[in-house]
Amino acid sequence: MLLVGLSVWLGWFPPYGWQGPQHLVLPAFALGIPAGAVLGTLFADAFPAVFREPWVGVWRSWGCGRSVLVRGVLRRALPPLLPQAGLVVVGLTGGAVAVEAVFAVPGIGRTALGAARAQDVPLLQGCVLALVLLGLVAGAAVGVVRRSMLGPALRDASLALPAIVRWTPSRWRVAVPVTSAALTAVVIGWGLLRDPLRIDTTARLASPSWAHPLGTDGLGRDVLARLAHGAPATIGVAAAVCACSCIAAVAMGFLPGIARGAADAANAVPPVIAGILVAAVLGPGTIGASLAVALVSWPALAAHAAALVEQTRASTHVTAHRALGATPSWIELRHVLPAVAGPVARNAVLRFPGIALALASLGFLGLGTQPPAPEWGLMLAESLPYVERAPFAALSPAAMLSLVAVFSMSSSGLLTSAKSASSTFRWRRQHHVSPSATVQPPAEV
């Protein structure tokens, strides 16, 4: 979308190459916007919970200024999120093979892809080894920073006081996921009535019309029909991979030491490199692409789960239950698992667009679904040579991926707000607090 909009249509930036600072802008935006959205949403999910903790109210009653409160909240909220930031940095460095291929950037990932295509085993081994070492170094650095920030006062996650606020979802927070889901359903439902494999050579690269609402591709096939019939190969497979990754990450999170080390090593291998290795064994196809993405999609979730497990196990209420004689299995099931499953599930929802994009990237590079089957990444690859003559053929699958991302992000925010409201309601009911009452932090804190 950046290539078509800012380079082809507006001519602001060069579309290909790596010769000067102007060539850096489009690849940087293409990599930075999705990663920044994921990290920003995780931070937005973590900060309200910290501000609801009683010590914040105590600090305010002592007269602490805004800057002191902000520093304290950052020191409290950052340690569980630092592993995510480290994984994102490694992913940006090693997982940008598709972006490097689109913009012709001479990076490590593109070098590894070229070595695999040329069957240059020593160069491919060197690239993969460099990515793995980079992941281990980044993970170790993040672990050192996290341990330096943690302290006895920062390990207590049990004193969270539900916010005394009502959940009143604004119209746009409800309208955005509903609108994106409705548009996606309309496009898919409309396109399913058409034939995705019918070739009309007289209508090659046709503009949108009533006969072809989104135009045609280089062979004269209807773009709308191919979008609809390619949705299961992208959205359906991504949903299955996302669910399996979430379950595996929660299970691995209960072994924090093993989970964090395995996550650092696995995250250093981008989906495309994993796709190359899996394709070498199973051959290119949907099964190989989904297996490759599944192998590298759980590390970020496992690191998040491991951090939450450590933090919850060190909390005061868990220590009190141990002192009262509660069994470890009862503590893990009744206290640790509920505290971990919700945030990790919301993190998985946030990463669903990235998983779908990874599958599309493998299809774009010829490692996923093979022609003539419709798949959104394969459609991007087939339409890229004709992007100037028929931009809608390339923009349509990109727009569908964007709709999926918007729906996932907005739905995650809606679920987070609903969870916060539910927690507030349960806390008020347990403590017999009126909805209109203003509650102060307990005096014994």
158 confidence band (pLDDT: 50, 70, 90): very low
* List of domains in the chain: 25-154+170-419 (1.10.3720.10)
Range with the poorest average pLDDT among 85-89, 144-148, 149-153, 197-201: 149-153
Q: pLDDT value at position 423? A: 52
242-246-252 Cα angle (round to 5): 140
pLDDT tens for each residue of 17-51: 788 788 888 888 888 887 787 788 777 777 887 88
Q: In angstroms, what is the C-alpha Rg of the chain? A: 24
Give 177-214 as a 3 state SS string.
HHHHHHHHHHHHHHHCCCCCCCCCHHHCCCCCCCCCCC
List the beta bridge partners of residue 222.
216
160 confidence band (pLDDT: 50, 70, 90): very low
278 confidence band (pLDDT: 50, 70, 90): confident
pLDDT tens for each residue of 408-439: 777 766 665 555 555 554 545 544 545 444 44
pLDDT tens for each residue of 315-331: 777 778 777 777 877 87
Give 128-158 as a 3 state SS string.
HHHHHHHHHHHHHHHHHHHHHHCCHHHCCCC
Q: What number is the average pLDDT over the span 357-369? A: 80
Task: Tell whether the model's pLDDT for residue 152 goes beyond 60.
Answer: no
> For residues 110 and 100, is the Cβ–Cβ distance under 8 A?
yes
Average pLDDT of the residues of the chain:
75
Task: Tell whether the model's pLDDT for residue 303 goes beyond 60.
Answer: yes
Comparing 153 with 256, which gets the higher pLDDT?
256
Nearest to 229 by CA among 259, 202, 194, 200: 194
